[in-house]
Amino acid sequence: MGMLFGGYGAQGVKIKRVKGVYVMTRKRIAVLTAQADEYTQGRFLSGFFEKAFQLDYDVCVFSMYLKYQDTASREVGDANIFNLIEFDKYDAVVICTDRIRTPGTEEGLRWRVEHEFDGPVLIVGDEIEGYKSINIDHRKNICGLMDHLIEVHGYRDIVLLDGWENTANSELKKQGFFDSMKSHGIDVDESSVYYGNNWFDSGRQTAMEITDNREQRQTSTGCGVCQ
C-alpha cells in the first residue's frame, strides 16, 4: 500500500511552518468507507493501518455507520460524516466505493475530491475510470467456490446470489460462476443468478424465494456477495 503514496517520501514526513518555525509532521491519509467494524472491512483497515504506520503515516477513517440505510432521513444523517472532511488537511485519500452504497454519496465524494483535493486518490473495491484502484479478483474467487461445491460436495444444481445488478464486480462474480459450471459440463443461464445488495437481508430473501418455489428449488446456493 505504501508504494502508492511513495511520491510523498519513504517515511511519510513533511516539513511544515508553524508560527515562523519549521517543524516535521507526519503525513495523513483519509480513508472514506462505511460500516468499518464489519469483518472484511475490519481486516482491510487493520492491514492498512499496519503498513501506513510502518511508513510514518497517520490514518483518519471516516465511516458511515451502515453501508445502506432503510429511510431517506437516515441516508442523509449517516452520510453527513463525510461533510466533516477538510480535504486540504490530508496528503492522500482512499475511497472504498464498493462499501458506500447510499445513493449519490459516493458520486458526491468523487466530485468533492476532484474539486477540493489535488493529491493522490485511490479507489478500493471497485474500478473507476480516471482513478488508481485496487480490487478483488471476484471471478477467480467465485470460480474457486463453485469448483469446491461441485468437486468436493457433489452439488450440481446451484444458483448464484450475486451483488447489485449491472455493476462491474457483480459481472465478474457471475462470470466466475458461469465459467466453473460450464467447465464441469453443467448447463447454466441467467435464470440461475439472483441479485442482492451485498448484505444479509438479500440472502434471506433469496432463500425464501427459492424454497417457496418448490419446482425451482436448488440443492445449493453460492454466495457471490461475501467479500
- The residue ranges of every structural domain in the chain are 2-134, 138-223
Identify the H or E element spanning 63. strand 57-64
Q: What is the pLDDT of residue 5?
A: 31
Give pTM, 2 decimals: 0.72
H or E element in which residue 10 lies: none
Superfamily of domain 2-134: Response regulator (3.40.50.2300)
Min mean pLDDT across 19-28, 87-96, 99-108, 201-210 is at: 19-28
Q: Domain 138-223: which topology?
A: Rossmann fold (3.40.50)
Whether the pLDDT of residue 224 is over 90: the answer is: no
Quick one: pLDDT at residue 23?
A: 53
Checking if the pLDDT of 119 tops 60, the result is yes
What does the pLDDT read at residue 10? 41
Q: What values do phi and psi take at 153, rounded to 5?
A: -105, -10
Average pLDDT over residues 63-69: 82
More confident site: 10 or 148: 148
pLDDT band at 85 (very low <50, low <70, confident <90, very high): very high
Task: State the pLDDT at residue 98.
Answer: 85
Across the range 70-80, mean pLDDT stands at 85
Q: Which of 48-57, 109-118, 125-134 has the weakest average pLDDT?
A: 125-134
Arithmetic mean of pLDDT over the chain = 82
With contact defined as beta carbons under 8 Å apart, do 79 and 102 qualify? yes
The reported pLDDT for the residue numbered 11 is: 53
Please give the Cα distance from 146 to 139 (Å, whole number): 11
Please name which of 188, 197, 198, 183 lies closest in space to residue 220, comparing C-alpha atoms: 188
Domain 2-134 identical in fold to domain 138-223: yes
Grid cell, residue 209, equals 424465494
* Per-residue confidence band for 103, with pLDDT thresholds at 50, 70 and 90: confident
